[in-house]
Structure 1
Amino acid sequence: MEFDSSTSKLPGMYDVLINFTGEDIRRKFVSHLDYALSIAGLTTFLHEENAVKGRQIQQPILNLCRVAIVVFSKTYSQSAWCLHQLQQIIKWQETYSRHVLPIYYEIQPSDVRLQKGDFGEAFKATAHKTFSRQQLQHGMSRWSHALTKAANFFGWDGSNYRSDAELVDKIVKSVLNLAVLSATNFPVGLQSRMEEVIQIIKNESRDVCRIGICGMGGSGKTTLAKAIYNQIHGTFTDKIFIEDVAQVTQTRGHAHLKKQLLSSVLKTDIHSVKGTRGNMIRERLRKRVLIVLDDVDDHYFSYLEETR
């Protein structure tokens, strides 16, 4: 089984699978959506033709997913691979009652639902190239069912939004509110710990509240941190969730991670934190910000104290 090149290890669960086609879509809309979901603390898997070999999504991948986002674009129906994958996603949804969320990017929802217009013509052409004469009717029927079923789910029409940024923001907020993500399945004892930490944050009167969650590997620290984040992130002006901090600092250094964190919070590229630039950063950080760093060690906290 192959995974997206940005995935360095197999997590216990993917929060969101993003299904799409096209390098142009990947570099523009999908990359922004993936980044925003990751910043919100969700684990994503980019599912495209080059990410997984073969026609079918390998079952372990779908078993690890909570939500599937399908990005319909002008070229989606030109890909037999995408149409086969959509079949598998719909079967997964019907079997396990999972969420499938369609996005219509530069295409009308009715074109997808009814397979009409240029989308419909490409759909027919792809089917004729893919199936034999004996298989054609049955194959097209299965693809058509998957497209119509997906288009009947709640989703987003990109033409209703002023920009990709506004569309992405709306999607992320909606995904975070899904019960399957906000109601984490805790190991025994973690629910009460989550409530205890949230109460500490609420009662904290200082300008800066820093909380460390310690424990042995596999004890549920990341699950607890993500659950706390999902419960309270809406009360903060800005928020960021960075995973695998130890690995990032080991490969790219503490300074890189600090610049990444500041750039995410300030919504701009940060190249220096000294002098006048440093004063500007401190002024712009005078707001309510939630920062969660997963998998850190004492050395990183010492570094932050030395460079504040």
Structure 2
Amino acid sequence: MFCKWCLRELVHMLKCRRNRGQKIVPIFYKVKPSQVRYLKGRLRDAFIARNESVDGIDFKEWEDALEEVSKLEAFESEEIDNGHEGTLVEMIFREVMLHLKRLYQLNVSKQLVGIDDRVEQIMRLIDGVFNRTRIIGIYGMGGIGKTTLAKVLYNRLSSNFQCRSFVANIRETSQRKGIYYVQNQLISALIENFGGVANVDEGIGLINL
């Protein structure tokens, strides 16, 4: 029930969390955090048995690590959708994507004034529904921050989608390089190992899929 190497890895992960700020998302699968924190029942018996075969220093580190991880924000399998594992996996995926989204976020200045209200207005239109198509138009005269607003919305929403693409300067790019170049930008972000389209009609066909 307790693996020596797994416990040592847990100790190391928690050290990385404290020293480097790394994120840990515990998953308590068919066990409650309190059982890990206070080592009750079979868990305690297994832990004591393991302690007999290793030195006491390891035991104290492991005990502290289990207590620490049991206090972190976590997923409890039995508390999610009556133990339905599919829902648990989906929630874990969303949580991981949320923390990884900084890897693909667009560069936006942090010194933005008055944009929060605009973002919230659009978020209310979206209404948190991501299972059907939404088209939102942002219009206005040049230089008022339309592209910046679009970038902020992209960063806010991107973690909800497995595939995503942000194509900027469409009009200028299509005038210089052709609309099929813009199509390639869009499709290559959505399709792995995409070889590119040769013409506009081919691009339209792929996008319609």
Question: Into which bin does the TM-score normalised by the smaller protein fall?
Answer: 0.5 to 0.7
For residues 39-78 of structure 1, give each alpha carbon's deviation from its aligned partner in whole angstroms, at most 9, with x where no partner exists: xxxxxxxxxxxxxxxxxxxxxxxxxxxxxxxxxxxx3x2x
Q: From the superposition, tell whether residues 88 and 106 of structure 1 become closer, same or farther in structure 2 (CA, over 3 Å).
A: same
Higher helix fraction: Structure 1 or Structure 2? 2
Deviation at 1:304, TM superposition (A): 8.3
Question: Which of these residues, 232, 246, 259, is aligned with residue 157 of structure 2?
Answer: 232
Where do 1:168-207 residues align within 5 Å? 168-178=89-99, 181-184=100-103, 190-191=107-108, 202-203=136-137
In structure 2, runs of 5+ residues without a counterpart are: 110-134, 139-151, 165-187
- Given candidates 52, 55, 60, the residue that maps to 1:128 is 52
Q: Quick check: which one's strand share is greater?
A: 1
Q: CA deviation at 1:171?
A: 2.9
The answer to whether the aligner puts 1:164 opposite 2:96 as a matched pair is no
C-alpha change, 1:182 and 1:81, in structure 2 (3 Å) is: same
Counterpart amino acid of 1:241? C
Q: Distance in 1 between matches of 2:67 and 2:26?
A: 11
Whose radius of gyration is greater, 1 or 2? 2
Give SS of 2:26's match. strand
* SS in structure 1 at match of 2:25: strand
What amino acid is the match of 1:166?
T
1:103 touches 1:155 (CA, 8 Å); kept in 2?
A: yes
Q: Aligned-pair RMSD on alpha carbons?
A: 4.0
Structure 2 CA distance for partners of 1:240 and 1:191, relative to 1, 3 Å: same
Specify the SS of the correspondent of 2:52.
helix
- Aligned with 1:105 (options 29, 35, 44): 29
Length, aligned pairs only: 146
Contact kept, 8 Å, 1:87 with 1:146, in 2: the verdict is yes
TM-score normalized with structure 1 length: 0.39
- Contact kept in structure 2, 1:182 and 1:231, CA below 8 Å: no
CA contact (8 A) 2:37 2:70 kept: yes
CA–CA separation in structure 1 for the residues paired with 2:57 and 2:5: 17
Residues 138-188 of structure 1, C-alpha deviation per residue, up to 9 Å, x if partnerless? 11001111111111111121111221122223333344444xx3445879x
The gaps in structure 1 that reach 5 residues or longer are 1-74, 193-200, 205-226, 243-290
**Structure 1 residue 202: deviation in Å?**
3.9
Q: Distance in 2 between matches of 1:92 and 1:294?
A: 35
| AA aligned opposite 1:149 | E
Identical aligned pairs, as a percentage? 21
Q: 2:69 aligns with which of 138, 147, 150?
A: 150
